[in-house]
Amino acid sequence: MNGFPFAIVGFDLDGTLLDTLGDLAAAVNHTLGLMDRAPLAEAAVRPMIGRGAKHMLEEGLRASGGVPDGAVERLYPELLDFYEAHIAVHSRPFPGVIAALDRLGALGVRTAVVTNKAEHLARLLLGEYDLADRMATIIGGDTLGVRKPSPEPIHAMIERCGGGRAAFVGDSIYDVMAAKNAGVPSVAVSFGFLDRPASELGADHVIDHFDELVPLLETL
C-alpha cells in the first residue's frame, strides 16, 4: 500500500466518474415524446439524477405536465430500453478520472462503484469506457434490495473488496449520507449533478477536479 491511508476508494457513477447527463436527458425526453410532451432542457434533468431511473422519470413527468396514474410503471421499461441502446452516445469520463484511477491502482488501492443505477446498466456503461475491469466490485441500486442513502451498499463494497479503511466519492446528498451512515469519509465533487452547492452537501471534503483526489486522500 506504500503507506497510503486507504485500502478502498468507492465512487458513485453518474455525475462522479462519468458525465452521463446528455444520454440520461435523451432517455427522459424520448419517453416524454411518447406522451407527446415537449423535451426538457438538460439543465432541468440534471437535478433529477441520483436516485435511480424510475425517480428520474417520475420527476421528468412532473416537470413536463404532471404524473398520470400508472404512467411511471408503463413508461419505465420504455425509458430503460432506450437508455440501454444509447448508453454511451454523449457520456464521457470527467477530466482527471483515468489518471486518478491509474494512480490509485499503482498504490494498490482497490476501487469500486456504488451507484443507484441498475447494476447491469452500470456494468454496461463502465465497460464502454474500459472501466469495469478496474473495479473490484460494482454495486447497483438493485444489487442488494437497498440503495443509497442506506449504508448497506457501502458496507457491502468494503466486504467485497476484502475489508480495510475506505473512502467514498460522490456528487449527491445520497452519496454523502450513505458514506456518513456507513462511517467512512466522504468526498464530494463540485462538478457533478448537484441540486445544491457542493459545500452544502455535508461532505467531509470537496474537490473541484479529480487531480485533487489522491493528494487529498493522502492527508486523511
Confidence check: pLDDT of 1 > 70? no
- 163 closest CA partner among 8, 1, 2, 5: 8
Report the C-alpha dihedral over residues 196, 194, 177, 199, rounded to 10 degrees. Answer: -50
Peptide bond into 93 cis (omega under 30): no
Mean pLDDT across the chain: 97
Average pLDDT over residues 5-12: 99
Identify the H or E element spanning 30: helix 21-33
C-alpha cell read off for 103:
494512480
Q: What is the pLDDT of residues 12-55, one digit of tens each?
A: 999 999 999 999 999 999 999 999 999 999 999 999 998 889 99
**Predicted pLDDT of residue 51:** 86
Alpha helices in 86-208 (DSSP H): 97-106, 119-128, 152-160, 173-182
Compute the average pLDDT of residues 170-178. 97
Sign of the Cα pseudo-torsion (205, 208, 209, 211, in order): negative
**What pLDDT is attached to residue 52?**
87
User: If you average pLDDT over residues 122-133, what whole number do you get?
Assistant: 98
Coil, strand or helix: which one is 193? coil
What's the pLDDT score for residue 50?
86
Helix axes of 71-85 and 21-33: crossing angle, nearest 10 degrees: 130
What is the reported pLDDT for 151?
Answer: 99
Cβ atoms of 53 and 79 closer than 8 Å: yes
pLDDT at residue 195, as a whole number: 84
Burial of 160 (0-12, 13-18, 19+ CB in 10 A): middle
For strand 18-19 and strand 8-11, is the pairing parallel, antiparallel, or unpaired?
unpaired
Confidence at 100, pLDDT banded by 50, 70, 90: very high
Q: What is the pLDDT of residue 35?
A: 95
CA atoms within 13 A on the CB side of 97: 25
The domains found in the chain, sorted by start residue, are: 8-20+91-218 (3.40.50.1000), 21-85 (1.10.150)
Q: What is d(CA 164, CA 109) in angstroms, rounded to the nearest whole number?
A: 10
Long-range contact set of residues 214-217: C-beta below 8 Å, sequence gap at least 24? 214/100, 214/103, 214/104, 214/107, 216/187, 217/4, 217/5, 217/6, 217/9, 217/167, 217/187
Residue 72 cell numbers, joined: 411511471
Residue 19 appears among annotated catalytic residues: no
Q: Read off the pLDDT of residues 102-126 as tens digits, 9 standing for 90 and up.
A: 999 999 999 999 999 999 999 999 9
Q: Which percentage of the chain shows pLDDT scores above 90?
A: 96
Q: Structure pTM?
A: 0.95
